[in-house]
C-alpha cells in the first residue's frame, strides 16, 4: 500500500511540474503575444539548479530540503538582477 501512495505522490508532483511549465508559457504568450522558445531552456536551467543544490547538500551529509527555499529565492533573485533590462 505504501508503494501506491509513493506512486500517487510522484504522479501528482510530475503533473504539478508540467502545469507550472504550461502556466509559464501561457503567461508569457498572453502578456507579450510572442512565443518564447527559450522557455524550455529556462525550465532545464531551473531543474539543473535544483539538482545541483540538492546533490551538493547530500554530499555534505545534511538534509537538502531545509535549505531549498533559501537556494531557490537566492537563485531567482540573482537571475532576476542579472537578466532584467
Q: Same domain, yes or no, for 48 and 78?
A: yes
- The answer to whether 64 and 51 have CB atoms below 8 angstroms apart is no
Secondary element (H or E) of residue 78: helix 68-83
Q: Same domain, yes or no, for 45 and 85?
A: yes
pLDDT at residue number 46: 78
Residues in the chain predicted with pLDDT less than 70, given as ranges, are 56-68, 70-72, 75-85
Q: Same domain, yes or no, for 46 and 73?
A: yes
pLDDT at residue number 80: 63
- Please tell me the total count of domains within the chain: 2
What global pTM score does this model have?
0.57
Q: Same domain, yes or no, for 81 and 62?
A: yes
Q: Same domain, yes or no, for 76 and 49?
A: yes
pLDDT digits (tens, 9 = 90+) for 31-41: 888 888 888 88
Domain span at 70: 38-85
Three cell numbers, residue 49: 539548479
Q: Same domain, yes or no, for 32 and 42?
A: no
Amino acid at each position: 500500500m505504501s508503494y501506491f501512495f509513493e506512486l500517487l505522490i510522484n504522479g501528482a508532483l510530475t503533473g504539478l511540474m508540467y502545469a507550472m511549465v504550461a502556466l509559464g508559457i501561457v503567461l508569457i504568450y498572453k502578456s507579450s503575444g510572442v512565443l518564447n522558445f527559450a522557455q524550455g531552456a529556462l525550465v532545464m536551467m531551473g531543474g539543473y539548479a535544483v539538482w545541483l543544490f540538492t546533490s551538493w547538500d547530500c554530499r555534505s551529509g545534511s538534509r537538502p530540503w531545509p535549505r531549498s527555499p533559501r537556494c531557490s529565492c537566492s537563485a531567482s533573485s540573482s537571475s532576476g538582477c542579472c537578466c532584467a533590462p
